[in-house]
Amino acid sequence: MYDIQYTEIMNILIVGDINGKAGRRAVKELLPTVKKKYDIDFCVANAENAAGGFGLTSEISSKIFSYGVDVITMGNHTWDNKDLEGHIKSELRIIRPLNYPPGNPGCGSIILDIKNTKIAVINLTGRVFMGNFDCPFRTVEEELKRFKKDNPIVIVDFHAEATSEKIALGWFLDGKASAVIGTHTHVQTSDDRVLPGGTAYITDVGMTGAHDSVIGIKKELAIKKFLTQMPVKFEVASGDVRLNALFVQINIKDNKAEKIIRIQEKLAPVTN
């Protein structure tokens, strides 16, 4: 007779914005160790800056999946590389913001079956300081209605600038989503918590890339831009590379978060 063990928790890892070559290297070298340490069942990563700091390509997305990421989310740099427009139609594990206007290629959400448990990932973009998009609040509310019959764990990547907009969506989805994770600003915030309704929340999970930078860009170039207001070609920084992520433990009986832990792992420097 076999002793079959049934788990009642799902361990999920959300990796912050992968920025350029440095960020990809951090994922490649650090992700396996982090997944093992936290016994991760499912991994989501934002990769809208993975190709040279701006956008994503089909080739780079394939590499990121091979490193152990299950779903890639995007943001305001989704269409920076023309290559992705065709690729995103067939590679459904790459999702772009759901509240983009009608006519955009790809999908804004996905449901996967992981260890006999359904997990939905929804990607949204904010509107404050971001652009003219459909309302993320009403859009996600309608999507949750569509998912109701499957009753999945729901992970929301809210790619937004304004802290207030992110916090408001967290409260709006408390008890409706398992986790609302902020991305885009590239700086990990310290407000991680489980809200009263059982939703794990953080305003920004941070950036996976060069910490010795201005949100991933070489600091001298960013400073020059601020000082002169002249056109400056931004370049992705290197050195002091870190992986920023969030660990969320979810009870699969009610899809509520039970634990949330901020993660910041430093990559060992390259030596000759």
- Give me the active site residues, please: 77
Q: Is 253 helix (H, G, I), strand (E, B) or coil?
A: coil
Answer whether 241's CB lies under 8 Å from 266's CB: yes
Could you give the CA distance from residue 258 to residue 145 in angstroms, rounded to a whole number? 24
Q: Is 113 helix (H, G, I), strand (E, B) or coil?
A: strand
Kindly report the CA angle at 206 between 201 and 208, in degrees rounded to 5?
135
CA distances in angstroms from 148 to 73, 152, 191, listed in the order given: 22, 8, 29
C-alpha closest to that of 244 among 186, 176, 192, 164: 186
